[in-house]
Amino acid sequence: MNRPVSSPARSRLDLLDPFEVSKLGGLEVVTEGVVEGFLSGLHRSPRRGFSVEFAEHRMYQPGDELRYVDWKILGRNDRLYVKQFEEETNLRAMVVCDASRSMAWSGDPETRLSKLAYAQRLIAALSLILLRQRDATGLITFDDDVRTILPPRARLSHWRQLLGTLSALEAGQGTAAEPALRRVVNQLRRRGLVVFVSDLLLDRDLALKALRFLRHRGHQVLVLHLMDPAEVALGGPAEARFEDPETRAAVILRPRDWAGAYRDTVRTVVHEWHLACRRHGIRYHRVTTDTPYGIVLREALAPSPRAA
């Protein structure tokens, strides 16, 4: 848990920390609602899929059809596994990554990843999980405009493409989430999973409107709200002029005097996001960049009590 984060300068996304990757073992992305895919399997589908070629085993999930249970493993290990087939994937996921200037910020660049670097690693890990369970995964990055669109693919080799896109990702200037989120619709013709990774320092109403639109289209939406610890707990010199890197808006204050009020404000903002997302069936997770992303994914991808 307290393992230091690798230096951002030395890290390559395809060389994820083995320690972190090891934590991804057994993780699965399970949607809460109904998603449309070609094959039946992990995700409940309105359609019947059919198997073609055995791919691998996975843990039995409630709702799995008993005919896919591998009775031999049950007999040997007393554990329920179901057989998966190569084209069983029926989930299409799009990860929407905020690459605005505010995402390039780290409260402690010496020891902590910027939010964007953290997001890159988080998305790499998430896409690895999705691709390993044969879910098609795509990527959209944006700053003040949509920068890259990588359509969802289910092949494991697609991960390299994802990593390449993520590695080439550089912070832009402003933040315009709505166009990027709306572009998801073009990539996910059928109901799928949308993961929105952002520091949410954007136009909240527009973003929520776009997220609601996605929900309206039947997609499952997961919002990962990235925050640097320094954005959670205000610190700094005795008095400072705090300047927004995107808007250049500034405010002069003494952090020590305002730390408590700021903490309350952040708590309120997070709570409002949380409420707004829940109201529209959107899963919301606040993530601080000093948290190992294995833990983050475990928490974010865990089935909600309602889904279980």
Partner 1 sequence: MIGFLHPWALAGLAAAAVPVLLHLLARREPPTVVFPAVRYLITTTREHQRRLKLQHLLLLLFRTLLIIALVLAAAGPTLPRSGVAGHAPSALVLVVDNSPSSGAVVSGTARLAQLQAAARRVLARATPDDALWLVTADGLPRRGDRQTLLDQVGALSVSSRRLDLGAALGVAGEVLAAESRPGEIALLTDLQATAVSPADLRVPLVVGRPDEPPPANVGIGRLETGPQPWGADGGRLTVSLVGDSGGGTPVTARLGTRPARQALAHVGAAAVLGIPGVPTGWWNADAELDADELRIDDRRMGVVRVAPVARVDWDSASRYVAAACEVLEANRRIGRGREVTFGRVAAGSSIVQPPEDGAAIGALNRALAARGAAWHYGAPVLEPAMTDSGPLIGRVRVLRRYQLQPAESGRTGVLATAGGAPWLVRTGNIVLLGSRLDPAWTDLPVSAGFMPFMDALVNRLARGEVSLADGAPGDAVPLPDQVSEVRQGGRDWRVEGGGTFRPAEPGAYYLVAGEDTVGAITANIDPRESRLAPASDAQARRLWRGARLVPLADAGDATFSSAARGDLRGPLLWAALLLGLAEMALASLWRREPG
- Residues near partner 1 (CB under 8 A) are 101-102, 105, 199, 201, 227-228, 230-231, 234, 236-237, 239-247, 249-254, 256-262, 264-266, 269
78 or 110: CB nearest partner 1: 110
Q: In angstroms, what is the minimal distance from the CB of 225 to partner 1?
A: 12
Q: Are 8 and 114 in contact (CB under 8 A)?
A: yes
Nearer to partner 1 (CB atom), residue 170 or residue 244: 244
Q: How far is the CB of 268 from partner 1 (least distance, A)?
A: 8
d(CA 146, CA 138): 14
Q: Is 288 helix (H, G, I), strand (E, B) or coil?
A: strand
Least Å distance, CB 143 to partner 1, is 13
Strands 146-153 and 136-142, sheet pairing: antiparallel
Closest to partner 1 by CB, 46 vs 260, is: 260
Are the CB atoms for 253 and 234 separated by under 8 Å? no
The 3-state DSSP class for residue 167 equals helix
Strand 136-142 relative to strand 92-98, pairing: parallel
How is residue 66 annotated by DSSP?
G
Say if residues 120 and 11 touch (Cβ distance below 8 Å): no
Question: Is 135 or 246 the residue whose CB approaches partner 1 more closely?
Answer: 246
Q: Would you say 38 or 196 has its CB closer to partner 1?
A: 196
The count of C-alpha atoms lying within 13 angstroms of the C-alpha of 36, restricted to the half-sphere facing its C-beta, is 7
The nearer residue to partner 1, 3 or 241, going by C-beta atoms, is: 241
Tell me the closest approach of the beta carbon of residue 296 to partner 1, in angstroms. Answer: 19
Spell out the alpha helix ranges (H) of 150-246.
158-167, 177-187, 204-216, 229-232
Q: How far is the CB of 251 from partner 1 (least distance, A)?
A: 5
The minimum distance between CB 286 and partner 1, in angstroms, equals 13
